[in-house]
């Protein structure tokens, strides 16, 4: 029998997307367990940032055991109750948003010197920052929407911003720079509502974007798997919001039937091919590895804009990422296998780097 791999699935987390992460992780664990090659260690991270080893992936139960990441030659996880160390073969962060998708957990995993799934520190951090991702896309010739950035504690000229919003064309969207799941996002239809929306978004981040709105856009998504020359992009799909005015948290996760997926998206073949190409370009520019989902907004005039990249996209059965690959002939099982293979390969690459000064 081939070697069994122990996969530590990290989920929950200190993030506004805590619950979304639990849903994603439940599916990841279920899918991993279908393959006899994998053993799963579900590790729940509480909202306070405490780690617990669980028997079954889900929200915390009284049977959970505290577990601590440690830099130790005996193993990278310590169970104080059992005074025991564990050394999972692979770590799989299934954490969305802050403290998970933004390079922080990736930095910890690098310090622990363990293989982990997905983008590294830099790609995660750049992908999480909507402005940095936009700058990279723009540098590669990919259209991005005009925006203004504002920061907590720095006064801005209200009249000038209002004038910009009017000139750009209302509505504008106000959003935190580093967040997801539409948390803190407001569609602003009048200049009077602008400043309150900014204040609201600033509750969730220290920086916010005020971005030109696309009127009733088509929201189009492309999933990516792999890296470099071996990068695979899925067909582009679209999601229709059936409930609200835009994809707010409610439409995404709460309203049953709040959205509808269509793969391929209802767009001309050339546009679909171009968005797929854009996705690959952005992922490579970011130095991405493993997985990501790239999101676009397409206007009524057919013009497409890069919106954002998610380096740990939703992975539940109803999430776009698995659906996009399924529709492209790549099963969930194949996605997981590829991600784990890449995690190990990248770890070996990192380890082969010389830390000795020559000469
Ligand atoms: N410039 C925009 N024009 C039109 N709709 C937008 C724009 N920006 C955001 N939205 C709407 O808000 C949703 C969430 O915004 P997004 O930038 O994707 O942030 P998040 O990271 O929270 O998903 C989008 O899916 C879309 O429905
Ligand atoms: Mg989004």
Q: CA neighbours within 13 Å on the CB side: how many for 6?
A: 11
**241 membership: H or E segment, kind and range:** strand 232-241
Q: Please give the average per-residue pLDDT across 89-99, as a whole number.
A: 95
User: Would you say the CB of residue 198 lies under 6 angstroms from ligand 1?
Assistant: no
Domains and CATH numbers, the chain: 5-116 (3.40.50.20), 127-143+215-347 (3.30.470.20), 147-212 (3.30.1490.20)
Give the integer Cα–Cα distance in Å for 76 and 168: 52
- CA of 285 relative to ligand 1 center, distance in Å: 22
Ligand lying closest to the C-alpha of residue 307? 1
* Statement: residue 224 has pLDDT above 60: yes
Beta bridge partners of 222: 236, 294
What is 313-356 written as a DSSP string? ---STTSHHHHHHHHTT--HHHHHHHHHHHHHHHHHHHHTS--S
- SS3 assignment, position 163: helix
Structure tokens at 106: 């990736």
Predicted confidence (pLDDT) per residue in 294-316, tens digit:
999 999 999 999 999 999 999 99
Residue ID of nearest Cα to ligand 1 atom 13:
247
pLDDT-derived band at 248 (thresholds 50, 70, 90) equals confident
* Statement: residue 255 has pLDDT above 70: no
- CA of 182 relative to ligand 1 center, distance in Å: 7
Q: Name the pTM for this structure.
A: 0.95
Give the integer Cα–Cα distance in Å for 41 and 57: 9
User: Would you say the CB of residue 44 lies under 6 angstroms from ligand 1?
Assistant: no
Q: What is the pLDDT of residue 68?
A: 96
Q: Which of 128, 247, 296 to mutate to test the pocket of ligand 1 (most atoms within 8 A of CB)?
A: 247
Spatial neighbors of 331 by CB under 8 A, at least 6 apart, are: 325
* Statement: residue 147 has pLDDT above 80: yes
Q: What is the pLDDT of residue 1?
A: 57
Q: What is the pLDDT of residue 308?
A: 97
Give the integer Cα–Cα distance in Å for 1 and 297: 47
User: Would you say the CB of residue 180 lies under 6 angstroms from ligand 1?
Assistant: yes
- The CA dihedral of 188, 194, 197, 199, to the nearest 10 degrees, is 170
Residue 171, preceding bond cis, omega within 30 degrees?
yes
* Statement: residue 50 has pLDDT above 70: yes
- CA of 304 relative to ligand 1 center, distance in Å: 14
User: Would you say the CB of residue 127 lies under 6 angstroms from ligand 1?
Assistant: no
Beta bridge partners of 60: none
């Amino acid at each position: 029998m081939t070697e069994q791999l122990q996969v530590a699935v990290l989920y929950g987390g200190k993030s506004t997307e805590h619950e979304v992460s639990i849903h994603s992780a439940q599916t990841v664990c279920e899918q991993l367990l279908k393959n006899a090659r994998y053993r799963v260690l579900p590790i729940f991270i509480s909202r306070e940032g405490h780690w617990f080893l669980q028997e079954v992936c889900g929200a915390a139960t009284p049977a959970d055991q505290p577990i601590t990441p440690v830099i130790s030659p005996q193993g990278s996880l310590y169970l104080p109750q059992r005074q025991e160390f564990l050394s999972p073969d692979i770590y799989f962060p299934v954490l969305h948003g802050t403290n998970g998708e933004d390079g922080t957990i990736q930095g910890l995993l690098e310090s622990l010197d363990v293989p982990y799934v997905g983008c590294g520190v830099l790609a995660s951090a750049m992908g999480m920052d909507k402005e940095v991702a936009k700058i990279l896309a723009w540098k590669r010739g990919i259209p991005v929407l005009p925006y203004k950035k504002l920061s907590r504690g720095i006064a801005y000229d209200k009249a000038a911003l209002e004038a910009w919003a009017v000139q750009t064309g209302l509505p504008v969207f106000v959003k935190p720079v580093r967040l997801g799941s539409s948390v803190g996002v407001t569609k602003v239809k009048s200049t009077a509502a602008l400043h309150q929306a900014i204040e609201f978004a600033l509750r969730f981040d220290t920086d916010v974007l005020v971005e030109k709105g696309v009127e009733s856009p088509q929201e189009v998504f492309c999933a990516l798997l792999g890296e470099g020359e071996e990068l695979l992009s899925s067909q582009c799909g679209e999601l229709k919001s059936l409930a609200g005015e835009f994809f707010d948290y409610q439409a995404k996760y709460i309203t049953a039937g709040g959205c509808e997926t269509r793969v391929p998206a209802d767009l001309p073949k050339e546009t679909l091919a171009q968005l797929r190409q854009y996705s690959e370009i952005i992922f490579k520019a970011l130095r991405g590895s493993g997985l990501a989902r790239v999101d676009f907004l397409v206007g009524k005039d057919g013009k497409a804009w890069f919106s954002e990249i998610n380096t740990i996209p939703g992975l539940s059965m109803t999430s776009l990422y698995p659906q996009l690959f399924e529709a492209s002939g790549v099963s969930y099982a194949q996605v997981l296998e590829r991600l784990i293979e890449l995690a190990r390969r990248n770890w070996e690459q990192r380890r082969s780097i010389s830390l000795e000064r020559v000469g």
